[in-house]
Structures are given as C-alpha cells and as structure tokens.
Amino acid sequence: MKLEFFKYQGTGNDFIMIDNRHNIFNKEDLKTITNLCDRRFGVGADGLILIENQSDADFKMIYYNSDGSQSLCGNGGRCAVAFAKHLSIIDSKATFEAIDGLHYATIDEDYVRLQMHDVTSVKRVADDLFLDTGSPHHIKMTDTLQNLDVKIEGAKIRYSERYRESGTNVNFVSKESNDTFSIRTYERGVEDETLSCGTGVTAVALAMHYIGETEKNIVNLKAVGGDLQVTFDKVDDSYQNIWLCGSAKQVFKGLVEI
C-alpha cells in the first residue's frame, strides 16, 4: 500500500513522521521501519515517529531509531509537536505521551520548547560523566572536537564493558565560552554520528553545570546541525524545570510504497 509521510528536521536530526491516529501503520513491522529510514533504499532518516491518539493527552508519540529500537528522542519530540500543530491537533501548547511518560511543550511558529523530565543523578565515570535525560548519555570533554572521528571513538565507548548490557549515547564536548558549548554525538540506535541530539545537548548542559564548567542555567549548545538552548533550575541535588529549545521544521511530504 502507499503510505503518506512527512519529513521533519530539528537542527539536522531528521525524522519520518506518520499520522497513525487511525492505526494504519503496523508497529510490529520493524523491517519496514528500518527500510524506510535507510538513506539509500528508503526515505532516509535518523528515526521514525508515529502520532497516535491518547486519552489523557493531546497525542502519543511513538519513536523508533533507524535500527527499529525505541527510546526517547528530544529533537523527535520537538518535531512531533510541530507535526501535531500541522495536523491541527494542537495550537500553541501540547501535552503528549512518550516512552518515558508525559511531556509538556509550547510552539511559536517553528520554535519549540519541550519540557524534559527531572534529572536526579549525574555520575562520574573516570574523567567523564554519565546521566539519563530520557535516554542514557556518556559525556566526554575534548580539545580536538572538530578533528574527532566520532563514529569510531563513540563506538568504543558505546560498546565498552561498562555499557555492554544497555548501550549508551556518547557526547563529545568542547567549551566555547562560559555559557556555550560545542557538541558532537554518537547515537545508540543509529550507530553513527548524528547532526544533533536533543537528549544529548540536554545531558551536556546539565553535566557542564554539575562539574562547574558553567554557573549559568541557560546554556547554548552548538550541534553540527544547528544551535539549541537548554534551561533548567538546580534544586538541591536535582535538576528540575528542564527545557530543550530550538527550531523544528517540515522539509517535505510524500507517498511511499510499503
């Protein structure tokens, strides 16, 4: 059958978006998901997102990485909000269900602010850090960010003994100023560098505050695909009121045979 899809991107993190409110898409067919995300034989994307009905929220977002695995995706969540507005499900505010629970968001034209869940633990891993912002993230500072082979170096950490069971995303970070950091990310589930990672930049902002690289609670993150901003409040030993902010845009729509 022919399936209508939309392509969205949030700072270069790109997604196939499908309106599945009438259950037209077989969620158990992981082979079709990976085929659609294939950049040579399919539409091509970092992930695929289904928008579905949800009784206690405006909609439900189901996110698949390009390998068919599921996780939370921050940029995917922002794009889902933009898509929901396009579908007239929401206007300027949204509440939606994701794999890690309910999220609140606002949208003004193509600028989306997504509230993330509180983070209560930041762990030191030798000279690096680890925290979970809906997806697990290993954070490593580096002075050679631009010349780094992210796919090779990221895979070494992602498949290391420490993360053998569950895997992790890996973020390489360089400090630009007191409130600005550059970041490159190796994404679990994509198994390669992506141009941006929403949960990753969120993790980096909190990690840099935790180790004292910034005292600001508004942090600017420069990903390969564009700029994002993370705001938060530090309350005792936890980070609360965390917002991931940036653009989310429709690129095109089309029909694909599945």
Q: What is the pLDDT of residue 240?
A: 98
Catalytic residue among 37, 79, 197, 245, which? 197
Q: What is the pLDDT of residue 16?
A: 98
In the set 37, 73, 79, 245, the catalytic residue is: 73
The stretch 32-61 carries a mean pLDDT of 97
Report yes or no on whether pTM surpasses 0.85: yes
**What's the pLDDT band for 225 if we cut at 50, 70, 90?**
very high
Answer whether 116's CB lies under 8 Å from 123's CB. no
Q: What is the pLDDT of residues 55-102, one digit of tens each?
A: 999 999 999 999 999 999 999 999 999 999 999 999 999 999 999 999
Which of 189, 155, 257, 200 minimizes the C-alpha distance to 45?
Answer: 189
245 is catalytic: no
Question: What pLDDT, on the 0 to 100 scale, is given for residue 169?
Answer: 98
pLDDT of residue 150: 98
Distance CA 243, CA 111 (A): 12
Q: Helix/strand/coil (H, E, C) string of the chain? A: CEEEEEEEEECCEEEEEEECCCCCCCCCCHHHHHHHHCCCCCCCCCEEEEEECCCCCCEEEEEEECCCCECCCHHHHHHHHHHHHHCCCCCCEEEEEECCEEEEEEEECCEEEEEECCECCCEEECCEEEEECCCEEEEEECCCCCCCCHHHHHHHHHCCHHHCCCCCEEEEEEEEECCEEEEEEEECCCCEEECCCHHHHHHHHHHHHHCCCCCCCEEEEEECCEEEEEEEEEECCEEEEEEEEEECEEEEEEEEEC
For 173-198, what is the mean pLDDT?
Answer: 97
Mean pLDDT over 33-40 rounds to: 97
The residue-averaged pLDDT of 213-235 equals 98
Please tell me the CATH superfamily of domain 123-247, with its number: Diaminopimelate Epimerase; Chain A, domain 1 (3.10.310.10)
Q: Average pLDDT of 1-10?
A: 96
The pLDDT value recorded for residue 143 is: 96
Q: What is the mean pLDDT of residues 39-55?
A: 97
pLDDT of 41 reads 95
The full set of domain ranges for the chain reads 2-113+248-257, 123-247
CATH number of 2-113+248-257: 3.10.310.10
Asked whether this chain's domains 2-113+248-257 and 123-247 adopt the same fold, the reply is yes
